[in-house]
A and B are shown apart, each in its own frame.
Chain A
Amino acid sequence: GENVEQHPSTLSVQEGDSAVIKCTYSDSASNYFPWYKQELGKGPQLIIDIRSNVGEKKDQRIAVTLNKTAKHFSLHITETQPEDSAVYFCAASSQGYGQNFVFGPGTRLSVLP
């Protein structure tokens, strides 16, 4: 089955700097890769996603890149703000019957003012 690894487990950056979180997956059939942000006491919130037919996607300060050959994808946050502090999860899934997400273990991002 699918296995998703995520690095680093913790990340501290100064406000205004960029943050990068990297994930690798094992199943070449996976073709949908969402990123979720989870704040304390809340459920995960989708922040950006990418499909396997696209190499990069950007939404304001957030971007995701995908390298299908190497089976890795990354989240890039630019101009970080204190409200970006949270736990970020990457996930992978294949479309179709009974599809489910396999999540990475998470990255705790701290943005220092």
Chain B
Amino acid sequence: ETGVTQSPTHLIKTRGQQVTLRCSSQSGHNTVSWYQQALGQGPQFIFQYYREEENGRGNFPPRFSGLQFPNYSSELNVNALELDDSALYLCASSLRADGYTFGSGTRLTVV
């Protein structure tokens, strides 16, 4: 049983650019959530996808968008990057509403 894998592990982007982060969910998991973790803080919920449909969204602007594919893998897209978007982006997958498995994250730095 494979865990949750995220790519890339590290990324540096310039303010105003766009970025796509990728997540492969754990085998059999049909629900994927994305979290943003700023340095020294707890993760904050961005949105969740269940069977390719957005299933809930946190307090993030529309420039944060996502996709879930038929194989349940997922993407997080962020447009018009701002310096405050620098953070660790975590993907978590689950088969039920609890018991999430987190990936190791993508460290995004916006300069």
Contact = CB atoms under 8 A, between A and B. Distances in A.
Interface stretch (B11-19, B77-85, B93-101): B93-101
B104 interface: yes
B2 interface: no
B41 A102 contact: no
A103 B42 contact: yes
Contacts of B43: 44, 89, 101, 103
Interface of A: 4, 6, 32, 34, 36, 41-46, 49, 89, 91, 93, 95-106
Contacts of A49: 98-99
Q: Which bucket holds chain B's interface residue count?
A: 20 to 34
Nearest to A100: B45
A46 B100 contact: yes
Given A49-B98, A97-B56, A43 B104 contact: yes
B104 A42 contact: yes
A95 B102 contact: no
Nearest to B88: A43
A44 B99 CA distance: 12
Contacts of B58: 100
A17 B56 CA distance: 41
Contact of A98 (B56, B98, B101, B102): B56
